[in-house]
Amino acid sequence: MPDQDLYPVPPEWAKRARVDATGYEKLYGRSLADPGSFWLEQARRLDWIKRPEIAGDWSFAEKDFRIQWFADGKLNVAANCLDRHLAKRGDQIALIWEPDEPGEEPRRFTYRELHAEVCRFANVLKDQGARRGDRVTIYMPMIPEAAFAILACARIGAIHSVVFGGFSPEALAGRITDCDSAFLVTADEGRRGGKRIPLKANVDAAAERAPALKTVIVVKATSGAVTMHEGRDIWYHEAAESVPATCSPEPMGAEDPLFILYTSGSTGQPKGVLHTSGGYLLWASLTHELAFDYRPGDVWWCAADIGWVTGHSYILYGPLANGATTLMFEGLPTWPDASRIWQVVDRHKVHTIFTAPTALRALMKEGDSFVAATSRQSLKLLGTVGEPINPEAWRWYYDVVGEGRCPIIDTWWQTETGGAMIAPMPGATDLKPGSATKPMPGVDPQLVDTEGEVLQGATSGNLVIAKSWPGQMRTVWGDHNRFFQTYFTTYPGKYFTGDGALRDEDGYWWITGRVDDVINVSGHRMGTAEVESALVLHPMVAEAAVVGMPHDIKGQGIYAYVTLNSGETASSDLRAELVKWVRAEIGPIAAPDKLQFAPGLPKTRSGKIMRRILRKIAEGDVSSLGDTSTLADPSVVDDLVANRVV
């Protein structure tokens, strides 16, 4: 069983929060007992053109497979995020933009201003011929115009497909082609950590391989040199000069597509995850409010990139639907130094920060002084998402960043789920470091064994979700059969998350990592996250990644990659010490068979460790590492290969 330290709900949170412990039990119980009336009531949080009279209509069974929510309702998502706030909070700041350069002025937009910007962008898209149902690829840096473009698509009923600005031309071309997108929005260049990213040049290269592309709208962000292609490319600022700042929102069915988001493929082609309008927005908005006890006036900062689902749901859709002030950051947490995040928090009086464990570990490695140099008095809540958070990083976040006063909201979810699925509520849920705690209303998680047998009580297994929820993805773009095959056939009748999890005696959920990352050592299951967590507990270790490797006797052995804190030196003594350390922390079964010191780990630009590459290296299969172009720093792979432990 994992670390069972309990951090009880602080009394002031129990008092002030929307939902306390009893409230949670009631809410959750009702959501499962009477989903029809529960969800129709929840649907009232949105502004409908036609209010729905049916809630969920779904079946995960092959013969009548379908997923629909609020199917008879009509709404416009952008109007929900903008227009409906104008009367009450038109002059409230909706969006704060913090630039890459710390010396540069932030930009701020009130709801009224954001509304006007989105309408202008919508009119430019329409002038270029974009219509309801058309796919618009958005390949943008983290600048306000990215938000305008996304919301403009929602306003006119076009389907946006945001491609992370760090992806290569090849990856971009594949995504344009897969959804047959004739329109693309980009910028001359992006900036991050003082470096320039040639977005427009990447688009030019991608366009050669993406014949579907007809129109490229270019936002001038850095004024860097670009080549404009006659007949294909237009400058946004020129096109926007002559369009009105109003544009009536297109009435959309709740089940009309809102966006496609390609998930970084661990195997095969990336999948175009499709989300629709009503259920998705409801889910983003409800989970933002409940998990973070969001209150009007709170300054909210989700530090993800807009190119990932976290950016979609928690920079834009959830917070804006709730009328929040949302912060968008162009830069990097470690640039110019490891104080930057906390300086931004102080500058904008941020109430809640929502970031990823990998960022926390990177900052933790630099030492506490960068945090201590800032005030952080405005912070009330700390969020995390993206991977299991190791208890050591959790405690650092809690003790050093939050100085023991801010509950940690560890949200487990996926691109496929639209928003948080398992997460605490600050006024209701006692916390355990490393546990995402309890399910959100309507979420029915179960554990199954490899045969699909549902497991009861405190145990571990494969995490499935037994019932549909409004934020669930509806299909894989262009391949409905792949959607069914990928998620509903492993355990028939249930949505399979691909994650393993553990449920403890208190009914708390602990995500142990992707099931494909679980190692089977001598018939015993070993979560890679658990071994990694043990390794990073060692005072000299900054980060660790563990994969399985073929082993003659045990079936699978454990191969560990370890990054040391700055200033520490690798040695064979330290290697032996770390193996002993894990043995002592978890048990002999978890002791790494091989341990390689690595100056860096291969990570996607969203911070996920590419285990596929680590597995190949561990297996000694270094000739077929596959595509490494989507890595944040492809050069780390060379070092890993050169120093492989044989």
> Would you count residue 414 as binding ligand 6R9 (CB under 6 A)?
yes
Residue 410 in contact with ligand 6R9, rule: CB under 6 A: yes
Nearer to ligand 6R9 among residue 217 and residue 309 (C-beta) = 309
CA separation for the pair 236, 645 (Å, rounded): 52
User: What is the Cα–Cα distance from 212 to 173, expressed in whole angstroms?
Assistant: 10
Question: Which of residues 116 and 545 has its CB atom nearest to ligand 6R9 in the complex?
Answer: 545
433 binds ligand 6R9 (CB under 6 A): no
Q: Residues touching ligand 6R9: how many (CB under 6 A)? A: 19
The least distance separating ligand 6R9 from the CB of residue 426, rounded to whole angstroms, comes to: 16
Q: Which stretch binds ligand 6R9 (CB under 6 A): 236-244, 252-260, 408-416, 567-575?
A: 408-416
Q: What is the nearest approach in angstroms of ligand 6R9 to the Cβ of residue 285?
A: 16
d(CA 491, CA 449): 9
Q: Which of residues 507-526 bind ligand 6R9 (CB under 6 A)?
A: 511, 514
Q: How far apart are CA 139 and CA 148, in angstroms?
A: 13
Give 629's contacts (C-beta < 8 A, 6+ positions apart): 168, 170, 171
How do beta strands 445-448 and 459-465 pair? antiparallel
Whose Cβ is closer to ligand 6R9: residue 272's or residue 498's?
A: 498
Candidates 222, 310, 460, 596: give the one binding ligand 6R9 (CB under 6 A): 310
Instruction: Tell me if 413 is assigned to a ligand binding site.
Output: yes
Angstrom distance (rounded) from CA 488 to CA 63: 12
Segment contacting ligand 6R9 by CB under 6 A, of 165-173, 293-301, 497-505, 543-551 = 497-505
Structure-derived torsion over alpha carbons of residues 130, 132, 135, 137, reported in degrees to the nearest 10 = 60
Residues in 171-230 at the binding interface with ligand 6R9, rule: CB under 6 A: none
Nearest to 599 by CA among 548, 622, 565: 565
Q: Answer left, alpha or beta for residue 296, where phi above 0 means left and psi between -120 and 50 means alpha.
A: beta
Closest distance between ligand 6R9 and the C-beta of residue 629, in Å?
18
Alpha-carbon distance 137 to 150, whole Å?
A: 9
Burial class (CB in 10 A: 0-12, 13-18, 19+), 457: exposed
**Considering only residues 252-281, where is the footprint of ligand 6R9 by CB under 6 A?**
263
Per DSSP, the residues of 65-115 read: -EEEESTT-EE-HHHHHTHHHHHHHTTSEEEEEE-SSTTSPPEEEEHHHHH
Tokens of 267: 């195997």
Binding test (CB under 6 A) with ligand 6R9, winner from 83, 98, 256, 499: 499
Residue 385 binding ligand 6R9, by CB under 6 A: yes
Nearer of residues 309 and 546 to ligand 6R9, judged by Cβ? 309
Shortest gap between Cβ of 188 and ligand 6R9 (angstroms)?
Answer: 28
Interacting residues with ligand 6R9 between 386 and 405 (CB under 6 A): 386-388
Where does this chain touch ligand 6R9 (CB under 6 A) — which range of 19-27, 339-347, 409-417, 467-475? 409-417
73 versus 388: smaller Cβ distance to ligand 6R9: 388
Residue 476 annotated in ligand binding: no
By the rule CB under 6 A, 543 interacts with ligand 6R9: no
Residue 410 is labelled as binding a ligand? yes
Q: What are phi and psi of 447, to 5 degrees?
A: -110, 135
Angle between helix axes 572-585 and 528-537 (nearest 10 degrees) is 120
On the question of a cis peptide bond just before residue 11, with omega within 30 degrees of 0, the verdict is: no
Q: Would the annotation count 387 as a binding residue?
A: yes
Residue ranges at the known binding site: 192-195, 310, 386-388, 410-415, 499, 514, 522, 525, 536, 538, 541, 583
Site residues for ligand 6R9 per CB under 6 A: 263, 309-310, 385-388, 410-415, 436, 497-499, 511, 514
